[in-house]
Amino acid sequence: MAIRPPQTLKSTGRKVPVTRYRNVSPTQTLRRFTVIWANTNGVPFNTTGFFAILRRLDGSFVQAAGFDGFGTARFSRVRTPTNQAFILRTFRDDGTLFRVRTVPAGVSSFVVIG
């Protein structure tokens, strides 16, 4: 089970009128393609020192990105939603290949499980 961050703000008990925010549409899309590497329980791995390489299906190189310590790699050159499929390879810092996954077109993020 993931450890939740400590709660720092206390509720004031004040209610916000619903009509004030009725016309707000959700915009929870990521601007750049993001990869998360998690275990089967959904908890991200500590991936410090790992990196990923993104290639098109024809094998041409797109970008390499390093993972942070929270299991996340962000590809700054790939806008979302993606318009084509990619091949994602994840490596350890010594060059050991860990996973190869095919990323479908039309996504803004991708989770590597295991």
pTM over 0.75: no
Q: pLDDT for 23-37, tens place per residue?
A: 555 556 678 999 999
101 within a domain of the structure (yes/no): yes
75 within a domain of the structure (yes/no): yes
Q: How many domains does the chain have?
A: 1
22 within a domain of the structure (yes/no): no
Name the 3-class secondary structure at 20: helix
Alpha-carbon span 17 to 57, nearest angstrom: 50
Alpha-carbon span 8 to 22, nearest angstrom: 28
89 within a domain of the structure (yes/no): yes
Mean pLDDT, rounded, for 83-112: 94
Question: Do residues 50 and 70 make contact, with C-beta atoms less than 8 angstroms apart?
Answer: no
User: The CATH number of the domain where 50 resides is what?
Assistant: 2.60.40.10
Range of the domain at 45: 29-111
Q: pLDDT for 41-66, tens place per residue?
A: 888 988 999 999 999 999 999 999 99
12 within a domain of the structure (yes/no): no
User: What helix, strand, coil percent values describe the chain, rounded to 5?
Assistant: 5, 40, 55
Location of structure tokens 């410090």: 48
Alpha-carbon span 50 to 89, nearest angstrom: 11
Buried b vs exposed e over 74-108: b needs ≥16 C-beta within 10 Å? bbeebebebeeebbbebbeeeeeeeeeeebeeeeb
pLDDT above 50 for 4: no
